[in-house]
Amino acid sequence: MNNSKLKILFVCMGNICRSPMAAAVMRRRLSEVEADDRTYVDSAGTHGDYHAGEPPDPRARLACAARGYSLDGMRARRIRAQDFAEFDLILAMDRSNLAHLRRLCPEDHLHKLQLLLDYSRRWPGKDVPDPYNGGPERFERVLDMIEEATEGLLAAVQRGEQESPLP
């Protein structure tokens, strides 16, 4: 990694549940290790027009607040063409969103696309399930998965790696 700021984008479908939760977790972890000045984190949705401009889902906000993560100021947006050039790492929450990103992404930026859970020791290659149609327990489970994967991602960032630890 060079001296410029590493830019990480988390992506789910509507950008109101999983991806803002992941961005909030990563921002706090980066702050805790004093790496937030070297890393920029954002989130987007593959189908963000559904909720464009809306704050994260109230259940996501509650689950995050209970663990000390802030979703304040976040607003849903759809992924933009320039995101593929601007971000160094684009992490999809599931294989469906990853496939959608691959269809949109210029070939010279495809190497930036990965699954978040590829940084997980417990769930590599798995999907972070969409909690939208479930109750609070689904949001808690998703947050558990995000926290665990974020530890692996943070370790990779601290090592200066932008590639998943998995082949």
For 123, the 3-state DSSP assignment is coil
Tell me which CATH homologous superfamily contains domain 6-158.
Response regulator (3.40.50.2300)
For this structure, is 130 an active site residue? yes
Q: What is the DSSP code (8-state) at residue 105? A: S
Pick the catalytic residue from 83, 88, 127, 130: 130
pLDDT single digits (tens) 54-102: 999 999 999 999 999 999 999 999 999 999 999 999 999 999 999 999 9
Task: Give me the torsion for CA of 53, 56, 57, 60, rounded to 10°.
Answer: 170
Q: Say what the pTM is.
A: 0.93
For this structure, is 12 an active site residue? yes
pLDDT single digits (tens) 96-148: 999 999 999 999 999 999 999 999 999 998 999 999 999 999 999 999 999 99
Domain coordinates of the chain in residue numbers?
6-158
For this structure, is 18 an active site residue? yes
Nearest CA to 21 out of 148, 147, 152, 154 is that of: 147
